[in-house]
Structures are given as C-alpha cells and as structure tokens.
Amino acid sequence: MKVQFTETALRDANQSLIATRLPFESFEGILTTMDKAGYYSLECWGGATFDSCLRYLDEDPWERLRKIRKACPNTKLQMLLRGQNLLGYKHYPDDVVRMFVKKSVENGIDIIRIFDALNDIRNIEVAVDETLKNGATASGAICYTKSPIHNLESYVRLAKQMEELGCQTIAVKDMAGILGPQEAYDLVKALKENVKLSVVLHTHSTTGLGPLTLQKAVEAGCDVIDTAISSFSGGTSQPPTETMAYALREQGYETGLDMKVLKEINDFFKPIKAEFLKEGKLNPVVLSTDTDALNYQIPGGMLSNLVAQLTAQNKMDKFEEVLLETPRVREDLGYPPLVTPMSQMVGVQAAANVLAGERYKNISKEIKAYIHGEYGKAPGEINPELQKKVLGDDKPVTCRFADTLEPYFEKAKAEIGDKAKSDEDVLSYIAFPAQAEAFFDKREEKAKNTFKYSIRRID
Ligand code: CO
C-alpha cells in the first residue's frame, strides 16, 4: 500500500496562514533539503503567490519559480491555476491562457492543478490542453461543495469529463474543510471506481476534520494527499505532513518520505513561524479550529470577511441575518461553490440584501456579470425572477465566455512596451497591470543604481 504527499508550505500554507508573505530569501536555504524529502510534489507557485510577489514582496514571480526549479531539480513543482481566470478574477482570452501555461512550464512547473470556480468544464479545457502540449501533468480539480444539486453522481460525471479532456490526475479541492471523513471515503471510492486516474485530496484543517478526512480518503484508495510541514500546518492551512506520514506508516502505508529530512524542514520553518507570530503577521486565530463552517456551510475565510465588512459599517447586529441570507443568495444563483471569486460575491450580495432591507435592491456588478454568464454556467438554475431583473429582455451568454474575447497578448505587449523585458513580464502585466508596472519601474530604478555604482567602482 502506497500513498504520496504534496507539500504545501510554500503555497497554500503560506497563503492560508500568513497571506502569502513569505519572501523567497526566507525559504531559499531549505529548498535543497526539501528536494530530498521524497514528496510527490512541492506546491510552490500560482494561487496568490504571483500577486503577492509583485504587490508586497517586490519579487519577480517568474524569477522565484526559476530559482526554486534550480534548487529542487529532483522534485516535481506544482502550481494552482484557476482555469480561464488564470490567477486573477476575470476570464482571459485563450491566447493569454495558452501563453501563461506555456511559460509556467518553460520556467519550471511540472504539474498544473486546474480548477474552475463553477466546475464549468469549458473553463479548464484550454489550460488543460496547453499543459498537455507542453509535456506537463494536468490535474483536473473538482471544487467540493454541498448543495441539493451536488452529489457523488455529479462529481463522478465531472471527473469523467476531466479524464476525457486528458487530465492525468483528479484532485478533490475542499477549500472550506467541510468534507467529512465518510464523505471523503465515499467520494474517493466512487472516483476510483469510475475513472482510471490517480486521485488527489486537498483539504484544510479549518474545521478540524482535515486529518480524519485524509485518513479515510487514503483508506478508500486516494493516491496523493496535500499536507503542510507541521510548523505551517493546522487551522486554515493543511493537516501536518509528519503526523499524517506517521499515522499512515503505522497502518502499513509506504509514504516515500524521509522523516529525518522532514524534521530538518520543520526545524527550519519553526523560527520563521515564531517571527511571523511575534510581528503579528500570523494571527493565532487562523491556527485554531473553527467549526462554524460546519454549521453554516460557509468557508471560514468568508465568515471572517463578513465580520470585517459588517464591523466596518458598524452593523454587526445584522450578522445572524446575513448568515441566514447567504445560503439563500447562493440558492438564487444556482448553488455556486463558495470559492474565490464566488465566495466574496455571494457574501457581499447577502450583506447588501440585509443592509438595504430589501433583497436585490442593489445588485453588485459582479453578480450581474455572473447572471449574464460571464463566469460560465451556473451549476444549477438561477432564480428566474432575479435573472429577469438583471437581464430584462437580454439573453445570457450561453457559449464559453472566453469565445467572446479578442486575443490580447500582443496588444498588451505593445501597451507595456519597453518596460517589459520578456514575454513573462507581459504576462505579469496582463495578470496585475498596476502592480506589475510599479514593479518594473522599481526594477529599472534598481538597475540604474547598480549601474552607477559599478561605474564608480571602475573609477
Ligand atoms: Co486550498
């Protein structure tokens, strides 16, 4: 019996605990050790890392990837990609998606985990196709959610579609940590019975179910589990790598992990965690167990957003009402999974409905775009009255939304001009225009200073 591990310390754990603020230099020193741990893969790029590099860390995300690649020649590097949204919040035209995937692989990525917030298969097609063309592994990710229209059958159907697209593995993505152990067992079993691909399980420890859920998933035949080195595990992050390896090894599973190396990695990350705690950049709240998500079926991150939003408006007395309104908005929208960007959109609309004292008096522009079909197909039926209110006599887009978009890569390249030194720079600019441009300017400034300095030295 065998089970493999994906280490999330550099991406999801970093993102879930400390808002992706780990600078490259902070973990550079442990990369060659991580390369020897025996992981199935190292999740180290994509998700919020790209944005964070440009916006907060003054780092070129592509450069970061190349450096990790160089330090970890023996481990598969993995990234998370939101299908046609890439790493952002809107749909990009196909030429941009293809170029982004191609450059990700060229710069060192081996495995691309691709998902769509609505589980609309059309929104991952192009990214999967390009991943395969470039010889990397395409992992189709199913966003796990609970609703009257989501069940084993619908998940198996989606997995089969992903298999047909050419995905080489299927990942179950439980972003809210609401997948229970028995549900995980049944889901993994159903997937293994119906598709020939390896199954990967991704969950979060938010509600405390994480380790139990992974354990039962492995018993059902799950091939790979996502975990985080213990000092960066738990709470809104993943279950701990060492603990899961220990427990599964006791049960007779071969993990391929070197426990001594894991200890070295953990010892390295411990003081980093302590520093983040000390500076207040790691809030102990995110490390604790929060079972509210089980009661409300609302991801933890979304709850804290709602609290922040209502507190800012001095309306916390409406919290319970907003919590009750949230599932109703979700139902009206055809039960989208509560993952970025839908989680934010549903939460904001629910609060607006309560605070205005009238449902859908104000409708956000994002919700309008969603109803217009700009995010893809709603999983279920959108409330016809709401649809009518937003669209009037217009028809929603029923084709793949990206088919309505003009190619953009060459246009963006012309737009940013000399500031972009490579196609990778152009992609950074397309993904986060203002942040990328500011980063390019600073880089230019730094280069000038270095140049002056070197002239002085020649003198
Ligand atoms: Co996650």
Residue 101, pLDDT above cutoff 80: yes
Residue type, 369: A
Q: How confident is the model at residue 452 (pLDDT cuts 50, 70, 90)?
A: low
Q: Give the pLDDT confidence of 46-99 residue by residue, as tens digits.
A: 999 999 999 999 999 999 999 999 999 999 999 999 999 999 888 999 999 999
- Give me the pLDDT at residue 454, please: 53
3-class DSSP assignment, residue 166 = coil
Range with lowest mean pLDDT among 91-100, 229-238, 287-296, 428-437:
287-296
Q: What does the angle CA 6 – CA 11 – CA 159 come to, to the nearest 5 degrees?
A: 55
Q: Tell me whether strands 137-143 and 169-173 are parallel, antiparallel or unpaired.
A: parallel
| Separation between Cα atoms, residue 197 and residue 169, nearest integer Å | 5
CA–centroid distance, 22 to ligand 1, in Å, is 17
Q: Give the pLDDT confidence of 8-53 residue by residue, as tens digits.
A: 999 999 999 999 999 999 999 999 999 999 999 999 999 999 999 9
| Separation between Cα atoms, residue 428 and residue 60, nearest integer Å | 9
CA–centroid distance, 370 to ligand 1, in Å, is 23
Q: How confident is the model at residue 213 (pLDDT cuts 50, 70, 90)?
A: very high
* Average pLDDT, integer, range 105-133: 98
CA–centroid distance, 127 to ligand 1, in Å, is 19
User: Contact 433/88 with Cβ under 8 angstroms?
Assistant: no
CA–centroid distance, 346 to ligand 1, in Å, is 19
Determine how many CB atoms are found less than 10 A away from the CB of residue 203: 28
CA–centroid distance, 204 to ligand 1, in Å, is 6
Q: Tell me whether strands 77-81 and 41-46 are parallel, antiparallel or unpaired.
A: parallel
User: Contact 394/371 with Cβ under 8 angstroms?
Assistant: no
User: Contact 387/397 with Cβ under 8 angstroms?
Assistant: no
Q: How confident is the model at residue 414 (pLDDT cuts 50, 70, 90)?
A: very high
CA–centroid distance, 11 to ligand 1, in Å, is 9
- Give me the pLDDT at residue 458, please: 55
Report residue 75: phi and psi, to 5°.
-110, 140
Please give the mean pLDDT across all residues of the chain: 94
| Separation between Cα atoms, residue 103 and residue 106, nearest integer Å | 5
CA–centroid distance, 170 to ligand 1, in Å, is 15
- Give me the pLDDT at residue 295, please: 82
| Separation between Cα atoms, residue 189 and residue 220, nearest integer Å | 5
Report residue 48: phi and psi, to 5°.
-90, -5
Q: DSSP character for 254?
A: B
- Bridge partners (DSSP) listed for residue 228: 240
CA–centroid distance, 184 to ligand 1, in Å, is 16
CA–centroid distance, 202 to ligand 1, in Å, is 7
CA–centroid distance, 111 to ligand 1, in Å, is 16
* Average pLDDT, integer, range 216-229: 98
CA–centroid distance, 421 to ligand 1, in Å, is 32
Percent of the chain with pLDDT over 70: 98
- Give me the pLDDT at residue 296, please: 78
CA–centroid distance, 146 to ligand 1, in Å, is 17
- Give me the pLDDT at residue 293, please: 84
| Separation between Cα atoms, residue 322 and residue 320, nearest integer Å | 5
CA–centroid distance, 173 to ligand 1, in Å, is 7
What torsion, rounded to 10 degrees, do the Cα atoms 271, 276, 277, 282 define? -130
Q: How confident is the model at residue 257 (pLDDT cuts 50, 70, 90)?
A: very high
CA–centroid distance, 207 to ligand 1, in Å, is 13
| Separation between Cα atoms, residue 230 and residue 266, nearest integer Å | 7
Residue 457, pLDDT above cutoff 60: no
| Separation between Cα atoms, residue 227 and residue 203, nearest integer Å | 9
Q: Residue 288 is encoded by which pair of tokens?
A: 């604790």
Q: Residue 410 is encoded by which pair of tokens?
A: 């060459």
Non-local (6+) Cβ contacts of 351 within 8 A are 306, 309, 310, 318, 322, 325
CA–centroid distance, 15 to ligand 1, in Å, is 9
Q: Give the pLDDT confidence of 147-160 residue by residue, as tens digits.
A: 999 999 999 999 99
Determine how many CB atoms are found less than 10 A away from the CB of residue 116: 27
User: Contact 326/350 with Cβ under 8 angstroms?
Assistant: yes
- Give me the pLDDT at residue 301, please: 72
CA–centroid distance, 220 to ligand 1, in Å, is 21
Residue 456, pLDDT above cutoff 80: no
For residue 299, cis peptide bond before it (omega within 30 degrees of 0): no
| Separation between Cα atoms, residue 185 and residue 193, nearest integer Å | 12
| Separation between Cα atoms, residue 410 and residue 80, nearest integer Å | 25
CA–centroid distance, 382 to ligand 1, in Å, is 27
Non-local (6+) Cβ contacts of 168 within 8 A are 137, 138, 139, 197, 198
CA–centroid distance, 225 to ligand 1, in Å, is 12
pTM of the model: 0.94
* Average pLDDT, integer, range 173-178: 94
- Give me the pLDDT at residue 453, please: 56
- Checking 403-407 for CB contacts under 8 A at 24+ apart, the result is 405/91, 405/92, 405/93, 405/94, 406/93, 407/93, 407/94, 407/95, 407/96
Residue 425, pLDDT above cutoff 70: yes
| Separation between Cα atoms, residue 345 and residue 335, nearest integer Å | 13
* Average pLDDT, integer, range 326-349: 93
Q: How confident is the model at residue 438 (pLDDT cuts 50, 70, 90)?
A: very high
| Separation between Cα atoms, residue 214 and residue 203, nearest integer Å | 8
- Give me the pLDDT at residue 294, please: 87
- Give me the pLDDT at residue 37, please: 98
CA–centroid distance, 85 to ligand 1, in Å, is 17
Residue type, 323: L
- Give me the pLDDT at residue 297, please: 72
CA–centroid distance, 7 to ligand 1, in Å, is 12
CA–centroid distance, 17 to ligand 1, in Å, is 11
Q: How far is CA 102 from the centre of its chain?
A: 19
